[in-house]
Copies of this chain bind each other. A is one copy, B any other.
Amino acid sequence: MPDIRKLLWPKSVAVVGASSDTRGLRGRIVQIMRSHPYAGALYPVSRSETEVQGLKAYKSVAELPPTDLAAMIIPAKFVPQELENCGKAGIKAAIILSSGFAEEKGEAGPALQRQVQAIAEKYDMAVSGPNGEGFANTAASLCPTFSPAMDAGDVPLLPPAERTRGQVAVISQSGGMGFAFFDHGRPKELSFRYIITTGNEACLTASDFAEFVVDEGKTAAILMLIEDIKNLATFERAAGKALRAGVPLIVNRLGASDAGARAIAAHTAARGNDSEYRALFKKYGVIESNDLDEMVDIAAAFVGMGARLPAGTRVAIASSSGGGGAWVADACALAGLEMPILDDAVRAKIDAYLPPYGTSQNPVDVTAQAIHERGYAEFARLAAESPNVDGVILVVTGRHPRFLLEDRDHLIALGRDSQKPVLIWSYTRPAAVCVELLSEAGLPLFTNVHNCARAMRVMADYRAARETIRKG
């Protein structure tokens, strides 16, 4: 088995096919890599340029200083020879961003891909791709990819450590969609450890990377976008390790529809097998979702709640908006959650805070007035006390930050002390300071009500799956 660590944690990277033209993909990859403070060496390899974006360029792979990783972005027909050169030069890892392999019509592309496989095996190289979009290792500030989502931009790659409960990894056959997870999750303060795109998976597969990530032990959840599973045994081993470690696999398998299947065959030469997948997913508590935002939100919920998963599917809802409470109740019912009336002791405590037009049943209609007087956190804390429920959904409006900010200490305490999961749905777009505050409190924040309800449900299912495998 080749060493994935060489690929994801190289001390030096060569870009084979690097260019100064930053309008093209061969220039973009160098530009994006240099926009981050990667501490290792970066060596452009170019037949035509002696200097690439201010860096000394090497004429060939043979001339390179000792190098850990080659990022290859050259026409497909040249890839096998250059990969062979990498092997001879002692380079133990490569990512192939070029297209034109097994996904191409005709015989030439698949033949090239078989050559890549043979060379990787011969030199025991860790090879990802071809037809991938590279990866990002945020801790190393290493982004060998041309994905526009990885341009150093308005936000740093990682949220501050004090607002980070854990990290997620993305593993995706599709490059564009893989980095889209980061693009959607980062503004929600989700912390990404890796974004890994695997393309055609001629050598390393998504399952190999998943196993590496679980073994490494630094990732709280894994987001996977797969078009097919190249090796069911590897997937099963990775999924088993993940479940035992409590690292949820949140997976969308593309190609569920006929047209989708046609698309993935053309895209990464993938061939799905529905029934086999489904059995494996069930056995290992794999969480399936076909909505990118929902997947990101579910991952964030797991990261925020850690081991505090709901012991069952009974939730309390506390809402400052009566309509919002009804909406989340409908969403919870759709997600298969129950909303029992709270017990009398807890109701009495809540009623003491409410005006006569509020209600403590479930949903708790807290009313704007009681929020003005008591803040949000106290109602979630009280609802969680009820033995009738396994988790709490708190409905807030995060548009104007005053009420959440004034409730800061209680929210921090709630996130720290609650033994049951508390998820928060803001029915207005939350202000940035609210996102940061709730992130610091470790309270997962949702802007979509169905994602919130679904997250509570899959967390309960995941806990049950873990208990089953522990007993089994």
Please determine whether A326 and B292 come into contact, CB atoms closer than 8 angstroms: no
Which chain A residues (1-51) contact chain B, with CB distance < 8 Å? 24-25
Q: Which residues of B contact A369 (CB under 8 A)?
A: 99
Please determine whether B323 and A429 come into contact, CB atoms closer than 8 angstroms: no
A35 to chain B, nearest CB (A): 13
User: Is A139 an interface residue, CB under 8 A from the partner?
Assistant: no
Complexed CA–CA distance, A151 and B326 (Å): 25
Q: Which residues of B contact A339 (CB under 8 A)?
A: 257-259
Known: A292-B427, A332-B257. A355 touches B99 (CB 8 A): yes
Q: Which residues of B contact A416 (CB under 8 A)?
A: none
Please determine whether B99 and A183 come into contact, CB atoms closer than 8 angstroms: no
A166 to chain B, nearest CB (A): 23
State which of B290, B428, B450 has its C-beta within 8 Å of the C-beta of A330: B290
User: Is A218 an interface residue, CB under 8 A from the partner?
Assistant: no
Please determine whether B99 and A260 come into contact, CB atoms closer than 8 angstroms: no
Q: Which residues of B contact A324 (CB under 8 A)?
A: 174, 176-177, 180
Known: A263-B365, A329-B260, A400-B151. A322 touches B357 (CB 8 A): no
State which of B263, B293, B367 has its C-beta within 8 Å of the C-beta of A326: B263
Which chain A residues (334-350) contact chain B, with CB distance < 8 Å? 334, 339
A45 to chain B, nearest CB (A): 21
A30 to chain B, nearest CB (A): 16
Stretch at the interface among A102-110, A379-387, A407-415: A102-110
Please determine whether B448 and A177 come into contact, CB atoms closer than 8 angstroms: no
Q: Closest residue of chain B to A106, judged by CB?
A: B356
State which of B100, B267, B323, B356 has its C-beta within 8 Å of the C-beta of A100: B356
Q: Closest residue of chain B to A99, judged by CB?
A: B357
Known: A227-B323, A427-B176. A259 touches B368 (CB 8 A): no
Please determine whether A334 and B290 come into contact, CB atoms closer than 8 angstroms: yes
Complexed CA–CA distance, A450 and B291 (Å): 7
Known: A254-B327, A267-B325, A355-B99. A429 touches B367 (CB 8 A): no
User: Is A53 an interface residue, CB under 8 A from the partner?
Assistant: no
Complexed CA–CA distance, A339 and B151 (Å): 34
State which of B151, B177, B363 has its C-beta within 8 Å of the C-beta of A427: B177
Q: Contact flags (1/0) for A80-121 with B, using CB distance below 8 Å?
A: 000000000000000000011101111001000000000000
Q: Which 9 A-B pairs have the closest CB atoms?
A: A174-B323, A257-B333, A267-B322, A176-B321, A263-B326, A259-B339, A259-B329, A260-B329, A177-B323
Known: A174-B324, A262-B361. 20 other contacts (CB 8 A): A99-B367, A131-B357, A174-B321, A175-B323, A176-B324, A176-B397, A176-B427, A177-B427, A180-B428, A257-B334, A257-B339, A259-B332, A259-B339, A259-B362, A260-B327, A263-B363, A263-B365, A267-B365, A268-B323, A290-B334
The contact sample of 20 A-B pairs, CB cut-off 8 A, is A99-B367, A100-B357, A101-B357, A103-B357, A105-B356, A151-B400, A174-B322, A174-B327, A176-B321, A177-B321, A183-B428, A184-B428, A225-B323, A227-B326, A262-B363, A263-B363, A264-B323, A266-B365, A267-B322, A291-B450
